Amino acid sequence: MYIQGFVVPVLPGKEEAYAKMAQEAGELFRKYGALEIVETIEEDVKEGTNTDFRKAVKAEDGEKIVFSWAIWPDQETCEKAAQEMQNDPEMKMPEEIPFAGARLIYGGFKPIYTSGRD
């Protein structure tokens, strides 16, 4: 199993546009082998003393934090999907991007412990 994690600030008033874009992208991720995609939007994001989700992406007033992840069978499938999606005409960004892409943080992770999934 291989996990891609993302934290991104969604621009003020663009939550619905982001959700629509995320659903479309999620369907493509599944088409290319992702096992599961989860998109969440902040509901209870506390301000930390040293760091927190908002500070991590330098969120500005009115922006909402999205925390999401995609579960892949393995890193190879994820990397192959990324290459193939670059050439897929369905994987295009909307004309008006609903998030601050320059402040998106993401990475790939190897699980060291999981519980609750069969």
Q: What rounded mean pLDDT belongs to the chain?
A: 93
Could you tell me the pLDDT band of residue 89, with boundaries at 50, 70 and 90? confident
- Give the global pTM: 0.88
Helix (H, G, I), strand (E, B) or coil at 110: coil
Q: Give the Cβ contact number of residue 77 at 10 Å.
A: 15
Strand partners, 5: 69, 107
As a whole number, mean pLDDT of residues 27-55 equals 95
Strand order of the sheet with strand 105-109?
36-41, 64-72, 2-10, 105-109
Alpha helix (H) residue ranges in the chain: 15-31, 53-56, 75-86
Q: Write the pLDDT tens digit of every residue in 48-70.
A: 999 999 999 999 999 999 999 99
**pLDDT computed for residue 58 by the predictor:** 96
